[in-house]
Structure formats: C-alpha cells, structure tokens
C-alpha cells in the first residue's frame, strides 16, 4: 500500500547477475517525491540495469525495492506501469510506419465499436500534449519526425499510461541544444506538478543544470549521493571514475605535422539527396589537411548525416567529387575506401556500427574480414589475438571477447567501434568521426578525445561531427557550421565559442556563406 510520507523510490542492496557477469552487486537509490534525480556512473557501472529492475524488466537476485512505500521487489513491467513507473529507453521503441497517436495508444487502442477510433486517439494525445507542453502533431507519421520530436512521443507514451515516476535513459544523447532546453522545460513542468524524474546521463553540465540531487554508481555499487547545489562537474567526474578527469578542453600538444602537397581529404561541389529535401548536402566544398581536425557544428538535420555517409560510401553522391590523398574515391565501395585508409565512426552504432548478435571479436573486424582470411576460412587465431589486444587497449567491459555486443552497455559498444576504426597498427589517413562520444562516460570521453588527438598528431585528417558543441570546440583545428545543407561559416578552432557559432547554427546569420 502506498505511503504518502515515503520516498518515491527506495532501492536497497540490489544485486543482479547475467551468467558469470555481476552487473550490480550492492546498489541503492533513494529519490524523494517531486524531484529530478541524476543517476551517474561510468559505462558498465550498472545504471541502466538498476533502472530496469525498478521498471520491472529484470528480477533482482537480492535486495529490496519500494515505490511510494510499497514493497515491489521482483515485480514485472505490467506491475510497474500500473503503479505509475515509466521508462524511456536510450534507443527509441517506436513503430516508424504508425502515427504519433497510434504509437502512444499502442496496446491501449481506443475503439468505436469494432473500428479503431483514430479521431478520438488524436484528440486524447493532443490534449496530453497541451497539458504537458510536449508539442507534436498526433497525426504525423513517426518516420517523418525529428529525433527530438520522436523523444517527445516516447515520453507521451509513458505519461499516457499514468506515469508519476519517469525514468529517462540518456535522453539528450541525440538532441540538439535547443531540444535539450525544451526537454528541461518539460521536466521542470512535470516536477512542478508533483512528478518524479530519474535521469541517467553522462553529461555533467546537464546534471548541474537540471537535477536536484545526484547518485553515483561505480562497478555495480552505489558510491555516493550529493545535492547538486554546490557540486561541480569535476566533483561528479571524480566520484564516477575514482580519480581526477581531464574534462573537455582545448589541448595543444605542440606537435606539427609536415605539410603535404595535397590535402588528405578534398570535397568538391558535393551534392547529396536526403529523405526530406532534394539537396541535403548542397554543393559543398572543403578540404582537410594532414594533422587537422575539421569540426562540423550545427543543429542535427542540416545535412551532416548525409555528408558523412556519402564520404564513407554508404550513400550515393548526386554530383561532385571526393578525393583521398589526391585520388578520387567517389565511385569506390565502402571496402575499397577502407583499404585506401578511410575509417568511419558512425553516428548510430546500432544501425551502422555493430551487429549486436555477433561476438565482440567479430565486431572488431567488421568490414575488414578479408584482412583476416585464412586458407579456407577466417584465421580465428588472428581474430582472437586482435580482440584480446583491442579489448585491453580500449578497456572494453566485460573483457570477454566472445560475448555478443548486445550484452554490453552503450558506452562499451561505442568502444568496440572506436577500437575497430582507430586501433590498427597505424592510424587511418582520414577518419570520419560522427558523434564519437555519444552516450559514453567522462572517462571514455577523455580516452576517445586523446585517440583523436593522437591520430591528428600522427598525420591523419579528421572530420568531426558532433551535436556537443563543447566537444567540437575542444577538439577542432577549424570549425565549420552546416545549415540547410551548406557550410555557412568556418572559424579557427581557438576562436570558436558558442556565442560565435550559435547564430550561424540557428540560421540567424546566413550572409557570407562559405
């Protein structure tokens, strides 16, 4: 029975293992009613597992769970939903071919007689949108929504089912800065109306901005709880990793790469079609020299995805040319581009970077299988040796190369992709890094940034696309802003600031396009 004086959430001593892997061992979490609580920790610390126990997706091996005073240890997802607990996952669970209203109502469809009451469903969702401030057209197909709009639909789904306790797993991983601020407005409204929010995120500045209290997990255990007021990002990072962490900042290594006669990457008058407009990439021209990180900033949806996929060979260019070390690769296959020295860290690791049911060892050679060919089959000894080397070098956890990639946390999945693309005997000639630290913890971000800088200093040309403006500014030699498929300005990295780039990103400044 619910106790009005009890905390919204009280988890104590929770343990959960998956075979030989102990995901959480002594995890506790107390969240007061009507607060926004941040749950922090490195990749693999057990945050998502703990929240899936709370949401009824996993049955704990030990410990107790209480919601609003009621003992809910071992309940299932139906129990959790009925009790007002809703979880929005990092990777959206929407049906693209259905409308917003149909997705929100899925499993609880409104009918009129034997027919689906679409008008009634749209009216109900529209009313919920007005109440919560989650603005989205109920009649639109999910396939046509932006990432931010799709996330609103996910939140609407759980709120429609009566959620009073909302769990958000990495909700800003794919959002632009304006979309993040819109999400914060919604969460503050929910809090003001008595709702409780648990926010899993790796972004320290967001935690300081939105949360009331913070719980930190490390290696499956709860290691700290603190009030957000008076806490610094450095304090949180230290609690997460157990040591001081170099947060994103510009670093001058002092390494100068010898000039080359031709740029490592040249893009000339490139045009690429997109799903929503004929020219997602609109006559783009730029070059990247050896020893340079060319950062591309911009609100997502302005052609960055189409550009990177065209450079990687995943999408056909309608016009223009691409040259690597002076040689045209526009007509080359993905495999041919890899062999010529091009590496690609895709923005969506699930869609483009991994085969989730393959072992870690197999994912570490994807696209390079021919380089590990034996007489009749793969040279499994070499595949295993490569996996052991990369798992150790990139601190992939758990360190069992035969585990399927889907058994790992999102951040450790990202480490597999980074290790495969950057972990060869020498760095690639050109590296396309799209959202390279999306969904990874501060320790892994520090490591990935160091690898990109090392590649730069070794003479690679890096194209960096990131929705994290802090990351772009910290790493880039030059920063370009894409808007409407065009590069509208390019500024030196050491002169780039959010204040300088922001108007270009939103289209407020468009004169003098590059």
Which tens digits make up the pLDDT trace of 479-497? 999 999 999 999 999 999 8
Using the structure block, give the residue that is written with the tokens 């704990």.
60
pLDDT for res 18: 87
Residues of the chain predicted below pLDDT 70: 1-2, 113-114, 173-174, 176, 246-255, 276, 510-514
DSSP 8-state assignment for residue 478: E
Distance CA 32, CA 36 (A): 9
SS3 56: coil
pLDDT on residue 71: 94
Which residues have C-beta within 8 Å of that of residue 324, sequence separation ≥ 6? 264, 265, 337, 340, 341, 342, 429, 430
> H helices within 426-467, ranges in order?
442-457
Could you tell me whether strands 221-227 and 213-218 are parallel, antiparallel, or unpaired per DSSP bridges? antiparallel
CB neighbourhood size of 406 (10 A) = 12
Point out which residues pair with 196 in neighbouring strands. Answer: 165
Q: Where does CATH 3.40.50.300 sit in the chain?
A: 9-241, 265-357+428-506
User: Partners of 404 in the beta sheet?
Assistant: 359
CA-CA distance, 100 to 92, in Å (whole number)? Answer: 13
> What sign for the dihedral angle of Cα 134, 135, 141, 146?
negative
Cis omega (within 30 of 0) for bond into 398? yes
Distance CA 465, CA 475 (A): 11
Measured in whole angstroms, how far is the alpha carbon of residue 63 from the centre of its chain?
A: 31
CA distance 261 to 484: 32
The whole-angstrom distance between residue 425's C-alpha and the CA centroid of its chain comes to: 28
CA 1 centroid distance within chain: 38
Sign of CA dihedral 31, 37, 42, 44: positive
- 9-241: CATH architecture: 3-Layer(aba) Sandwich (3.40)
pLDDT, residue 186, reads 87
**What gap in Å lies between CA 501 and CA 499, rounded to an integer?**
6
The pLDDT of residue 513 is 44
Torsion of CA 278, 352, 475, 324, to 10 degrees: -70
CA angle 4, 5, 8 (to 5 degrees): 75
Q: How many CA atoms lie within 13 A of 125 on its CB side?
A: 30
Asked if 433 contacts 417 with a C-beta cutoff of 8 angstroms, the reply is no
Alpha helices in 7-146 (DSSP H): 47-54, 77-82, 100-105, 118-132
Dump strand ranges (E) for 355-410.
none
- What is the radius of gyration, based on Cα positions, of the chain? 24
CA separation for the pair 461, 444 (Å, rounded): 22
Alpha-carbon gap, residue 207 to 374, rounded angstroms: 50
Instruction: Provide, for the chain, the percentages of residues in helix, strand and coil under a 3-state DSSP scheme, each rounded to the nearest 5.
Output: 35, 25, 40
**Three-state secondary structure call for residue 382:** helix
H helix and E strand count, the chain: 16, 22
**In this predicted structure, what is the pLDDT of residue 228?**
96
Per-residue pLDDT reduced to its tens digit, 229-238: 999 988 988 8
| Residue at token pair 């585990």 | 403
pTM, 2 dp: 0.71
Strands 265-272, 319-324: pairing is antiparallel
How far apart, in whole angstroms, are the C-alpha atoms of residue 492 and residue 311?
Answer: 23
CA–CA gap between residue 454 and residue 363 (Å, rounded): 23
Give, to the nearest 10 degrees, the angle between helix 177-192 and helix 147-160: 20
- CATH assignment, 265-357+428-506: 3.40.50.300
Structure tokens at 476: 């880039």
Q: What tokens were used for 86?
A: 């809703």
**Whether 170 contacts 116, CB under 8 Å:** no
The CA distance from 78 to 82, in Å, is 6
């Amino acid at each position: 029975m619910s106790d009005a004086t009890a905390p919204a959430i009280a988890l104590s001593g929770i343990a959960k293992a998956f075979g030989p892997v102990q995901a959480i061992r002594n995890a506790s979490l107390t969240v007061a009613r009507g607060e926004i609580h941040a749950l922090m920790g490195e990749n693999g610390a057990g945050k998502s597992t703990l929240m899936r126990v709370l949401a009824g997706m996993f049955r704990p091996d030990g410990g107790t769970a209480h919601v609003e005073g009621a003992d809910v240890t071992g309940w299932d997802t139906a129990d959790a939903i009925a009790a007002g607990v809703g979880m929005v996952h990092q990777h959206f669970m929407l049906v693209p071919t259905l409308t917003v209203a149909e997705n929100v109502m899925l499993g609880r469809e409104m009918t009129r007689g034997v027919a689906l009451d679409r008008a009634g469903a749209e009216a109900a969702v529209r009313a919920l949108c007005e109440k919560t401030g989650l603005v989205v057209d109920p009649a639109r197909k999910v396939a046509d929504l932006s990432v931010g709009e799709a996330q609103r639909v996910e939140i609407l789904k759980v709120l429609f089912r009566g959620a009073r306790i909302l769990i958000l797993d990495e909700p800003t991983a794919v959002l632009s800065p304006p979309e993040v601020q819109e999400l914060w407005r919604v969460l503050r409204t929910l809090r003001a109306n008595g709702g409780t929010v648990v926010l899993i995120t790796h972004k320290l500045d967001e935690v300081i901005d939105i949360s009331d209290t913070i719980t930190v997990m490390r290696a499956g255990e709860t290691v700290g709880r603190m009030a957000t007021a008076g806490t610094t990002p450095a304090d949180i990072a230290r609690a997460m990793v157990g040591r001081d962490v170099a947060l994103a900042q510009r670093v001058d290594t002092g390494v100068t790469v010898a000039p080359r006669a031709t740029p490592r990457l040249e893009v000339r008058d490139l045009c690429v079609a997109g799903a929503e407009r004929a020219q997602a990439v609109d006559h783009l021209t730029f070059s990247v020299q050896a020893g340079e990180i060319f950062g591309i900033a911009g609100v997502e949806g302005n052609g960055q995805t189409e550009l990177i996929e065209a450079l990687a060979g995943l999408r056909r260019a309608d016009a223009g040319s691409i040259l690597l070390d002076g040689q045209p690769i526009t007509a080359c296959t993905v495999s041919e581009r890899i062999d010529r020295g091009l590496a690609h860290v895709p923005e969506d690791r699930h869609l483009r970077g991994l085969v989730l049911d393959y072992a870690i060892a197999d994912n570490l050679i994807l696209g390079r299988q021919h380089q590990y060919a034996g007489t009749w089959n793969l040279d499994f000894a070499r595949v295993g040796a490569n996996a052991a080397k990369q798992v150790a070098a990139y601190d992939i956890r758990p360190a069992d190369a035969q585990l399927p990639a889907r058994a790992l946390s999102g951040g450790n999945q990202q480490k597999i992709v980074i290790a495969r693309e950057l972990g060869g005997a020498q760095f690639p000639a050109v590296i396309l890094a799209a959202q390279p630290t999306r969904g990874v913890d501060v320790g892994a971000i520090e490591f990935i940034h160091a690898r990109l800088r090392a590649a730069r200093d070794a003479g690679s040309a890096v194209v960096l696309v990131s929705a994290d403006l802090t990351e772009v500014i910290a790493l880039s030699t030059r920063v370009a802003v894409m808007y409407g498929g065009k590069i509208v300005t390019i500024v030196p990295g050491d002169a780039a600031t959010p204040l300088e780039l922001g108007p270009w990103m939103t289209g407020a400044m468009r004169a003098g396009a590059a």
